[in-house]
Amino acid sequence: MRVCLIIALLVVFSGCISDEPEQETLIEEETIMKQISISSEAFEDGSSIPVEHTCDGDDRSPALSWEGIPNGTRSIALIMDDPDAPGRTFVHWVIYNIPADSVGLPAAVPKDTSLNDGSTQGKNDFGKIGYNGPCPPPGKPHRFFFKVYALDTRLNLKSDVTRSQLESAMKGHILAQGNITGKYQR
């Protein structure tokens, strides 16, 4: 019985021992805690996305605003996806290298690979560059997450990058993140 207790305590405490300096751990925990506040003039967080921003309307991106981009940010990335899509999470928008001093994106971002401010748009799951809005099958409402990431670097990626390629490139470079969720039902 005592041997089991000693082994259990060793296992628990072994997870607390680290070769890395304590300061690095604290910086990492502090970084994880930073949140970006995101809003849209088109819809409130958790409410319906207007038809004009969907495939049933003009299919133009909504205006987004954010606050809380931390010092040290070199670029911003955004991914919009639908986790309620049948079979898998469906990606609607991939955009990165948004300037660090940006406070948001305007409505109707052009569906071009390179934008005037230096931002680059990747490929969505429709196989297109830029934003393609909600277009779920008829039935229950789907949730659409607009996720913004503050990065400590500018990314050197090809223009037709996918979400998974962008997420892979962002690993270890995220200073802060946040999201806003909209819903849409057909």
- Note down pLDDT in tens along the chain; length 186 residues: 544 444 444 444 444 443 333 333 333 444 454 899 999 999 999 999 999 999 999 999 999 999 999 999 999 999 999 999 999 999 999 999 999 999 999 999 999 999 999 999 999 999 999 999 999 999 999 999 999 999 999 999 987 899 999 999 999 999 999 999 999 999
**Minimal CA–CA distance to 147: which of 125, 179, 110?**
179
pTM of the model: 0.82
- Domains recognised in the chain with CATH numbers: 35-184 (3.90.280.10)
Retrieve residue 158's tokens: 């090809």
Helices (H), the chain: 2-14, 22-33, 163-170
Q: Which pLDDT value is given to residue 180?
A: 98
